[in-house]
C-alpha cells in the first residue's frame, strides 16, 4: 500500500528565506506527483505536477523535484513571503490505482512565513 510522508509537519521561517519541503513515498510505481497548497478552511490549489518521466517542474518562485527511484520529492520556495503561509500537501498517483487515477496524500507541512 502506498504511503506518503511529509517532513516537517510544521515550519516557521522569517520572510525572505528560501526553504525546502520534503515528501517521501514508499512505492516508486507512480504516474505522477502533485504539490498542492491549502489555506485554512479552504480547498486545495494545485501548484505543480511532475510526471514520472520528469525530474522537476518550476512555476515562479516554486520548484519541485522528483527522484522516483528513491521515492522522494522536494518543493523549493524561493524568497518566501507572508502570503506563502499555508499547508502544503504532496500527493502521488500510484500506478496500482489503475484507470481511476486515485491520489494518495501526505499529511502536509504547515508553513508560516513571519513578516
Partner 1 sequence: ETGVTQTPRHLVMGMTNKKSLKCEQHLGHNAMYWYKQSAKKPLELMFVYSLEERVENNSVPSRFSPECPNSSHLFLHLHTLQPEDSALYLCASSQKGAADTQYFGPGTRLTVL
Rounded CA-CA distance 108/115 in Å is 22
99: contact with partner 1 by CB under 8 A: yes
The residue among 12 and 51 lying less far from partner 1, judged by its C-beta, is: 51
Encode 6-45 in three state secondary structure. EECCEEEEECCCCEEEEEEECCCCEEEEEEEEECCCCCEE
Rounded CA-CA distance 108/101 in Å is 20
4: contact with partner 1 by CB under 8 A: yes
The residue among 73 and 104 lying less far from partner 1, judged by its C-beta, is: 104
User: Cis omega (within 30 of 0) on the bond before 30?
Assistant: no
The residue among 21 and 103 lying less far from partner 1, judged by its C-beta, is: 103
Based on C-alpha coordinates, what's the Rg of the chain? 14
Query: Given candidates 26, 102, 112, 114, which one binds partner 1 under the rule CB under 8 A?
Result: 102
112: contact with partner 1 by CB under 8 A: no
Pair 90, 105: CB distance under 8 Å: yes
Minimal distance, residue 108 CB to partner 1, in Å: 8
89: contact with partner 1 by CB under 8 A: yes
Question: Footprint of partner 1 on this chain (CB under 8 A)?
Answer: 4, 31-32, 34, 36, 41-46, 49, 51, 89, 91, 93, 99-108
Amino acid at each position: 500500500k502506498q504511503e506518503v510522508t511529509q517532513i516537517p509537519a510544521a515550519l516557521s521561517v522569517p520572510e525572505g528565506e528560501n526553504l525546502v519541503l520534503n515528501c517521501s513515498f514508499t512505492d516508486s510505481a507512480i504516474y505522477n506527483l502533485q504539490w498542492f497548497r491549502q489555506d485554512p478552511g479552504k480547498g486545495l490549489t494545485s501548484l505543480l505536477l511532475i510526471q514520472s518521466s520528469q525530474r522537476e517542474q518550476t512555476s515562479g518562485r516554486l520548484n519541485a523535484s522528483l527522484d522516483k527511484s528513491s521515492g522522494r520529492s522536494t518543493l523549493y520556495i524561493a524568497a518566501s513571503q507572508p502570503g506563502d503561509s499555508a499547508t502544503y500537501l504532496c500527493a502521488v498517483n500510484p500506478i496500482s490505482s489503475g484507470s481511476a487515477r486515485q491520489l494518495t496524500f501526505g499529511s502536509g507541512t504547515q508553513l508560516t512565513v513571519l513578516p
